[in-house]
Chains A and B, each alone.
Chain A
Amino acid sequence: MPGGGVARRPLHFIIMGDCSGSMKGPKMQALNTALRAMLPHLLRWEREQLQAQLLIRILGFATEPHWHVPEPTLVTELNAQWRDLEYVRWGWTNMGPAFEAVAEVLAPERLETRALRPAILLVTDGLPTDPPGGFERGLAALTRHAAGRLSLRLAVAIGRDANSEPLDRFRSRDAPVLIAETIDVIVDRLVAASIAVSRMSEAGADRGALAQQLLQPEVVPGSGLDDDPIL
């Protein structure tokens, strides 16, 4: 084969986990349980579909972001080498720097030209605590380049209070903010999110219809068909 061979198209899935002080205890435990529960679903989807190779990174964020899984990692490898996220004592919920960290790895020089539209899942239990302008600066950095701008961005809000206007600004047009009102439903929400991420990432997917089918209908923004680009 001229050029050295073929490979599936990479699908980068970045999970942003809230590790602020308020996540201490059962919330952090539930988040880790839920993240691990996502993996078998992602693995099954990866085996069933024909187009993408799923590569996962995990970013923990509090006052500062830190890459918990810094390199794009296969689901099987992540499952085998799993390490729990840990909360940061007195840590704040600064989302702006976390968005900037994600923007950095999605920059054109860092991302394969043939990569599929990346997916970003933000899980948080609170409002952003960025200094003035920090959230906006981070979000602008994330959406500066095509990969970030076109990424599928979902958010899971732990606790009804966590669903906020900033999360609504973070999500992509074709994805909702999922609400886990109690710790018990975090697993369900993250599994739903993982299925949505995978199915909505397939080429030619009707993302609006899938969002309505897979996620909470009441929070899905309008039908996706009118928004569909030429694919």
Chain B
Amino acid sequence: MPMSADASGLPPHEAQDLWLALTASQLGAAHQATGLPNQDAVAACHVQPDVLVVAVADGHGHRRHFRSARGSRLAVAVACEAARELAARLDEFEAARQVESEALRHLVPAITGRWREAVHDDVAADPFTAQEQAGRVSGDDALIAYGSTLLLAIAGRRWLVLAQIGDGDIMGIQPDGRPLLPVPADPSLDGQQTTSLCGLRAEDEFRAAVVDTSTTALLAVMLATDGYGNAQAADPWTDAVSADLAELINDRPPEWLADHLPLWASRCASADGSADDTTIALLIAPSATGWRHAAPPEPEAEEATTSAARRLAEPAARPDRQPEGPRKHRPGPRSRRLMVIAAVAVVVIAAAAAFLAVRLSSSSTTPTVCSTPSAGIGEHATASATPAVRPRPGAAGNPCGRG
């Protein structure tokens, strides 16, 4: 099944105070069966050295929106571009309300305006074919053919700006595992219809929220198209998913998460799930990534150490991979860390005792210097990191785009 995955945003270990973005997008089984493309799109990029922007979009499935795959790609591209201005000014704001007001007054109109322009440019460059014209409803604006939702996150050092039109989910994951759902619910989303960038009142139908991460701690933020939520067996699903993700983010390196995100998207998009295109973007907060420099070597891939990880061993593994085995009686990452800390403590105590003994016997001996285990971990994380999208010279001029 065609699948796109991107472990974008895995930065080098010196960039430990940046948000990371992991993304995956999977063609839905229903679309695959009917020959339709993946109508979701996702883009992630750093628009400032310390500001990450992630956009996810879901092109509408109805045949009236026959160019919605293009519409969603245009949506994530213009959203990333429009986010630059606000991203550049994020540090100026003192209160969340100011940021939210700025987002609704300037960012949202910029997105909708540029998306409309981009659609009209696309139609001008590639006019509707006779077949497409035949499928259009009389009076439909060209925008209708490109209809798409949009979910956007701008993650800076302090402010996390979230904006959304249409269905899909934006969920914060708190350190205690509870979900944070800051974007107001839209009562008009009844599971059958959605608001859309192609709607006449798109600007008014955007919802936005701002989280002050200096007072509201977050481990991560997940943006997902409705193919994800509609596939979840749990109802409601946010509590269970958030709790499991918190555990995994604490216990696993980003490489492991990047490796598994496409599998989760794949399960959701399969005929066992929603059968709909499924796109997930997981933004991992800087506060959740400190362990990259302090943790011991990661467990082997088949080692399932948490309840969440055990669930990952359900039959969704890629065919070319061995499924994860049952829980083994081997120490988990946390246990290992404790063991390493205990071992270091023993060495330190022994060294101190030896030092004192030597000092007592001879005052000319220098003390033993104990290195911490973190150096090895840093090496491991850097060596196994997948290609990074990270701030680099000239990055501000780079297009955001993958979709």
Interface positions of A (Cβ within 8 A of B): 1-9, 49-51, 112-117, 146-147, 150, 203-204, 206, 225-226, 228-231
Contact = CB atoms under 8 A, between A and B. Distances in A.
Nearest to B29: A50
A7 B4 CA distance: 22
Contacts of B30: 49-51, 203
B191 A146 contact: yes
B1 interface: no
Interface string B45-84: 0000000000000001111110000000000000000000
Given A115-B191, A231-B62, A225 B273 contact: no
Contacts of B272: 6-8
16 contacts: A2-B245, A3-B240, A3-B244, A4-B233, A6-B268, A6-B272, A9-B231, A50-B30, A51-B271, A113-B229, A150-B190, A203-B61, A228-B62, A230-B64, A230-B193, A231-B60
B191 A50 contact: no
A9 B230 contact: yes
B193 A8 contact: no
B235 A112 contact: yes
Given A2-B248, A9-B230, A112-B235, 10 more contacts: A2-B240, A4-B233, A6-B272, A7-B233, A7-B272, A225-B64, A225-B137, A230-B195, A230-B199, A231-B193
A49 B28 CA distance: 13
Contacts of A229: 192-193
A72 B241 CA distance: 26
B190 A230 contact: no
B264 A1 contact: yes
Q: Is the interface of B mostly helix, strand, loop or mixed?
A: loop
Nearest to A145: B190
Contacts of B195: 230
Contact of A114 (B199, B235, B308, B314): B235
A110 to B, nearest CB: 11
Contacts of B230: 9, 114
B319 interface: no
Contacts of A146: 190-192
A3 B310 CA distance: 11
A229 B62 CA distance: 9
Contact of A3 (B63, B192, B232): B232
Contacts of B61: 203-204, 231
Contacts of A150: 190, 192
A142 to B, nearest CB: 15
Contact of A8 (B60, B235, B273): B273
B37 to A, nearest CB: 14
Contacts of A117: 191-192
